[in-house]
Amino acid sequence: MESKARKMGHPIHPILIPPPVGMLTTSDVFDAVYVPTGSGLGSPSPRWEAI
């Protein structure tokens, strides 16, 4: 199935999906580091990643 939403011949869906998924995954990693240690970049980073 070919996407009808295109920008200059390239499909838009593969361009829009990876950044939010990557930021959500990164915020989960920062949370996983912060919860057991209570230090590091854990506290402010996931909030900004999830916005």
pLDDT tens digits, residue range 13-42?
Answer: 888 888 888 888 888 887 787 777 776 666
**β-strand partners of 10:** 7
pLDDT of 9: 80
Distance between CA atoms of residues 6 and 10, nearest Å: 5
Q: Is the pTM of this model over 0.95?
A: no
41: left (phi over 0), alpha (psi -120 to 50) or beta: alpha
